[in-house]
Amino acid sequence: MRGSAAFAGTTSTWQTPRSAARSSCSSRWRYGRSSANRGRWPLRRGRHRARMAEGSAPVEVRRLQVPDGARLQRVDRFVTDVTGLSRSYVQKLIAAGHLTSGGSPLKANAIVGPGTALQLEVPPAEPAEGIAEPDIELRVVYEDPDLLIVDKPAGLVVHPSPGHRSGTLVNALLGRGGADAWGGIAGVARPGIVHRLDRDTSGLLMVARNDAAQASLMSQLKARRVKKTYLALVSGSVAAAVGRIEAPIGRDPRHR
């Protein structure tokens, strides 16, 4: 079986904070990715790299401000909408004390309103735990700074699992370009797998390079804006031109 996916549109320039800043905004503002609030919430570009000890990676500092006219809301939701980071990762940063207002750390359920100034510190992405395997050949059919699309061959498992610690698509991607090839998914320098294909199914897979791309791709998949097409090759005599197969599907307890 072979699967493929098509975007709603012809290019990969979806509306995310990063893309908006590059294409349609001045150097002072960035805009949130939420579909309900897209284009409404400005984010000050007061971003700089904090000084760190020599030899260590810098912390990225983002200065945010709730704009006039915005409704009262939880701070973790606001930060998620304007940065493109996943909500779970934002909550992790907040729990570690990386989000402050006026020098004081905030809790995830803190309520913020118009004019509230925030500072978010994003640590450098940690190395992925998976094994990098550059010897696994991959056919990349599309690539840009935010995502790549690979043609997964049949027989290749997508994710490492108890039965497949190595030799997977993720291992191959980690070996392609090193850690610098991945902008960080939830604080880890790893590829963002947003959908999967079974081991014995070949086809196209979208892989995000950063949080904003992963959030946008997953949102498009959830909204059914990505069209998937599956082709099956069969042999033998088929009794009917149209039919339905109902059979149990589950993981074999021994052969994973």
Active site residues: 198
Q: Mention every residue, 6+ apart, whose C-beta is less than 8 A from residue 52.
A: 58, 59
Q: Is the dihedral of CA 233, 148, 220, 166 positive or negative?
A: positive
Contact 149, 205 (CB under 8 A): yes
65 touches 78 (CB < 8 A) = no
The residue type of 141 is V
Centre a 10 Å sphere on the Cβ of residue 223 and count the other Cβ atoms it contains: 10
What tokens does 86 get? 């996943």
DSSP class of residue 160 equals -
What is the separation, in whole angstroms, between the first and last Cα of the chain? 19
SS3 category, 168: coil
Q: Which amino acid is at 178?
A: G
Question: Quick one: residue 69, left, alpha or beta (phi over 0 = left, psi -120 to 50 = alpha)?
Answer: left
Both structure tokens of 18 = 């990063």
Query: Cβ neighbours of residue 63 under 8 Å, at least 6 residues apart?
Result: 44, 46, 47, 117, 118, 119, 120
Backbone angles phi, psi at 58, to 5 degrees: -80, 155
Q: Which two tokens stand for residue 195?
A: 């959908």
Which letter does DSSP use for residue 173 in this model? H
